[in-house]
């Protein structure tokens, strides 16, 4: 994947967040706009925190319920638990209708250590999704999570 920058800028804060705040860092990559395309395919990587006493499985279920409740014409296509980057993971693929038309999304929730979940989400127009799957898979394969793996027993 090439960048529009010769050397991408590094952006970070030189301070720690306020006490009790969670780091919900996001990285967003978007394909360049093209004439006639209602939306640009994109990849979003984010970090989130589990709620108090919440398990990884409960977190995933809560996110899926949010999708189902808030995305017009939400339709699951596939889902399942497994492993990604040697960590517990859950993947769901679905379509939904946005103002830009019918979208397809694939979302990976990856347990990234105590109380932390990394989400890797890819989105494209439903008709365009297959054309970008190689880029989406390369993005997931290049993801690096520098945190201790969560223990497997009871993680689900």
CATH number of residue 66's parent domain: 3.40.1000.10
Question: Does some domain include residue 131?
Answer: yes
Question: Does some domain include residue 150?
Answer: no
Query: Does the global pTM surpass 0.75?
Result: yes
Reduced to 3 states, what is the DSSP secondary structure of residue 53?
coil
Question: Does some domain include residue 154?
Answer: no
What's the domain range around 112?
38-142
Parts of the chain with a pLDDT under 70: 1-6, 147-156
pLDDT for residue 5: 57
Q: 31: which DSSP letter?
A: P
Q: In this structure, are residues 75 and 97 in contact, taking their beta carbons and an 8 Å threshold? A: no
pLDDT for residue 20: 83
User: What is the count of structural domains for the chain?
Assistant: 1
**Beta strands per DSSP E along the chain:** 26-30, 42-49, 75-84, 87-98, 101-111, 116-125
Question: Does some domain include residue 9?
Answer: no
Backbone Cα Rg of the chain: 17
Residues 23/80/76/55 CA torsion (nearest 10 deg):
-40
pLDDT for residue 155: 47
Question: Does some domain include residue 29?
Answer: no
What per-residue string of b and e applies to 90-125 under the rule 16 or more CB within 10 Å gives b?
Answer: bbbbbbbeeeeeebbbbbbbbbbeebbbbbbbbbbb
Cα gap 107→51, rounded to integer Å: 20
Length of the chain: 156
Cα gap 65→56, rounded to integer Å: 14
Question: Does some domain include residue 6?
Answer: no
């Amino acid at each position: 994947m090439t960048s529009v920058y010769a050397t991408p800028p590094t952006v970070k804060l030189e301070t720690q967040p306020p006490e009790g705040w969670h780091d919900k860092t996001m990285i967003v990559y978007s394909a360049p706009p093209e004439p006639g395309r209602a939306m640009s395919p994109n990849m979003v990587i984010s970090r989130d925190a589990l709620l108090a006493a919440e398990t990884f499985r409960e977190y995933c279920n809560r996110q899926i319920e949010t999708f189902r409740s808030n995305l017009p014409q939400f339709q699951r296509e596939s889902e399942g638990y497994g492993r990604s980057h040697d960590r517990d993971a859950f993947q769901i693929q679905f379509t939904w209708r946005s103002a830009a038309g019918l979208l397809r999304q694939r979302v990976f929730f990856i347990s990234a250590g105590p109380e932390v979940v990394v989400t890797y989400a890819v989105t494209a127009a439903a008709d365009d999704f297959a054309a970008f799957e190689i880029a989406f898979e390369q993005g997931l394969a290049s993801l690096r999570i520098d945190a201790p793996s969560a223990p497997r027993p009871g993680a689900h």
